[in-house]
Amino acid sequence: MGNDQHRSETTLRVNGKPHTLTVDHRRVLLDLLREDLDLTGAKKGCDHGQCGACTVLVDGRRVNSCLLFAVALDGCEVTTVEGLTGDAEEPHPLQRAFLERDAFQCGYCTPGQICSAAGMLAEAAAGHPSHVTDPATPPGTPVTLDRMEIRERLSGNLCRCGAYPRIAEAVEDVIE
């Protein structure tokens, strides 16, 4: 089971709980979540950063967890779809909106869409521009997320079932 010189002890906080693991240096965050912690909400759609199904939040920012070596995340705070609400029983407003809008079908891209949307809301609030943001906007100004902005900023999350219009509506519901 691997050579010890290719494994390192790594500590991450995942959904608020610390986990210390001896991690194969080749292991990406996605596989650590799914295989070591049995948090299978983050999905493997391509394993190459092409589909967004594995999107989670690392220190509050959305990432493709299939592209990050777990060993490089020592000390990081990871939030997955299972931990979006903290200890609350009720679903996160995005989860509720996805249910109400029927913003998914097969469900496989859904956790990634929801985590991506959560990260996007924070990015827009922090004034991160997108490709469709008016270039004249002063840096750091919170960006108003209209339909164009939502579509542009969620384009890294593929949905083969074609739930895009409903996803955009669900995100708008949460913004309002």
Q: Where do contacts with another protein occur on this chain (CB under 8 A)?
A: 1-3, 24, 26-27, 31, 34-35, 38-48, 50-51, 53, 80-82, 91, 95, 98-100, 102, 104-111, 114, 150-152, 154-168
Instruction: Give 13 or 139: the residue with its C-beta nearer to another protein.
Output: 13
Structural contact between residues 160 and 107, judged by C-beta atoms closer than 8 angstroms: no
User: Considering the complex, what minimum distance in angstroms separates the CB of residue 20 from another protein?
Assistant: 18
Q: Strands 7-14, 77-79: parallel, antiparallel or unpaired by DSSP?
A: parallel
Cα dist from 79 to 7, 122, 138, 164, whole Å: 24, 14, 30, 24
Instruction: Give 138 or 162: the residue with its C-beta nearer to another protein.
Output: 162
Instruction: Give 99 or 138: the residue with its C-beta nearer to another protein.
Output: 99
User: Considering the complex, what minimum distance in angstroms separates the CB of residue 47 from another protein?
Assistant: 6
What DSSP letter does each residue of 153-166 carry, written as one string? HTTTS--TT--HHH
Instruction: Give 12 or 83: the residue with its C-beta nearer to another protein.
Output: 83
